[in-house]
Structure 1
Amino acid sequence: MLTWPTGIVNEVALAILFYQVQLYADMFLQVFFFVVTIFGWYHWKSNQADVPITRLSAKGIKWYIISQVIGTIILGTVIQQLHIWLPVYLPVPAAYAYVDSFVTVASILATLLLAKKQLENWIFWIIVDIISVGLYLVKGINFLSIEYAIFLGLASWGLWQWRKKLRYA
């Protein structure tokens, strides 16, 4: 149960950090994670039935890829303009608007896939983690790069474990 409130503290701290380094899409992603955390904390029950691991259909994979591309273009375009639209609140232009937006959109899609316990969520997380390690290194947030390198290992392990479970189900 303590992971929910610690998640909220983490999301607030990361939102502040991402504001400071002009990764505005990541900053807004923390708002998404904050809402998901509140929702999860409210609805979480330890006695829920186990949801089976599933795979996306070919049509589902196409839908997620198209959503990723379109979402990145739209969000990147918006993020790139925020300093013009909201100069009082965001006076500095966004850094790496499209890379940051790609990470944000992929993280949201991965979260949706994870909630449905679909194997492909791990592929999205692996891509997010690889890009995030590089992005945070370029921005000089070394400790966060290390954290995402660890997440990369965990996502790779999760993919391997879920594939094993799916194979023997």
Structure 2
Amino acid sequence: MIFILAITDWLKSQSVLEISGVISGILCVYLAARNNIWSWPFAIISVSLYIIIFFEAKLYADAGLQVYFLITNIYGWYFWSRKSEQEDKVPVSFATRKSLLISLAAILIFTLLLGTFLYKGTDASFPYLDSFCTACSLVAQLFLARKIIENWLIWIFVDVIYVGVYLVKDLHLTAGMYALYVLIATMGYINWKKEYKQSKLPLNT
């Protein structure tokens, strides 16, 4: 009984904005892992809420990242809807070696530039770590929009880091959400890889 009351009091102390962002965020990631196009409307709702949440928490790189997410969510919704008449949905694929090398270089450069700007010009928390996670997320989100399987591996890596960051910033619900994201991203990687292998099987004649 005491435990239930403690949980109830804790939930009451959480903001409605964060609760709404968590619920819509979990729904969008779960649906993406299931390769369901309806993940994108929930994603748009979630990132719109988190623009406000992260700005208030002085996680400016994360707040800016949500603006990018908003744009790529709209693009992802469009791209996923561009299936041919012969396909049930746009097929998944693996990244090319060239795209992976370009992405790695972009992450390193972006982290250095944004991290330095935030460190010298703002009161941002964890400027370089926040910038690194932001850079990785930029790549992962673009890969997700393009249905590239490696997006899930990047998300798993980044989400583990974010759990620690949000715990330190007392965003407990958000930290819990990102811990759940790690599990969903793992499921997404397994599902997408399985779907890719099935798409390469010869059709029965």
Query: Is this a same-fold pair by TM over 0.5?
Result: yes
Q: How far 1:114 sits from its partner (Å)? A: 1.4
CA positional deviation for 1:40: 5.0
Q: Does 1:20 align with 2:59?
A: no
Could you tell me which of 71, 87, 104 is aligned with 1:35?
71
Counterparts of 1:160 and 1:4, CA distance in 2: 20
Q: Give the distance between the partners of 1:16 and 1:163, measured in 2 at CA.
A: 35
- Partners of 2:193 and 2:39 lie apart in 1 by 26
Q: Secondary structure at the match of 2:90?
A: coil
Q: For residue 7 of structure 2, what is the aligned residue in structure 1?
A: none
**TM-score normalised by L of structure 1:** 0.81
The letter for the 2-side match of 1:112 is L
Match of residue 113 from structure 1: 143
**Alignment root-mean-square deviation, CA:** 2.4
- Preserved contact between residue 72 and residue 145 of structure 2 (Cα < 8 Å): no
Residue identity matched to 2:46: N
CA distance, structure 1, for counterparts of residue 92 and residue 81 of structure 2: 18
| 2:118 match | 79
Q: How far does the alpha carbon of each residue in 1:43-82 deviate from its partner, in whole angstroms, 9 at most, with x for none?
A: 4775733332221233322221111111111121122233
1:3 and 1:159, CA in 2 relative to 1: closer, same or farther beyond 3 A? Answer: closer
- Residue 63, structure 1, aligned to residue 102, structure 2: yes
| 1:148 aligned onto 2:198 | no
Separation in structure 2 between the aligned mates of residue 95 and residue 22 of structure 1, nearest angstrom: 7
Q: TM-score with structure 2 length normalisation?
A: 0.68
Q: CA deviation at 1:100?
A: 1.0
Q: Which residues of structure 1 form unaligned runs of 5+?
A: 84-92
Equivalent-residue separation in structure 1 for 2:54 and 2:131 (angstroms) = 13
Q: Which amino acid aligns with 2:177?
A: E
Equivalences for 1:128-139 in 2 at 5 Å? 128-139=158-169
**Which of structures 1 and 2 has the bigger CA Rg?**
2
**Residues 1:167 and 1:40: Cα distance change in structure 2 (over 3 Å):** closer
- Matched AA of 2:172: N
Opposite residue 28 of structure 1, the aligned amino acid is G
Task: Sort the Cα spacing of 1:35 and 1:73 in 2 relative to 1 into closer, same or farther, 3 A.
Answer: same
Paired letter, 1:159: Y
Calculate percent identity across the aligned residue pairs: 36
Give the aligned residue type for 1:62: L
Deviation at 1:99, TM superposition (A): 1.1
CA separation in 1, counterparts of 2:107 and 2:162?
Answer: 16
State the Cα deviation string for residues 66-125 of structure 1 (Å, max 9, x = none).
111111111211222332xxxxxxxxx000011111121111101111122111111111
Which is further off, 94-103 or 58-67? 58-67
- Asked if 1:160 is matched to 2:190, the reply is yes
* Aligned residue identity for 1:20: E
Post-superposition CA distance 1:3-23 (Å, at most 9, x none): 656544432321222122211
**Would the alpha carbon gap of residues 81 and 150 (structure 1) be closer, same or farther in structure 2, given more than 3 Å must change?**
same
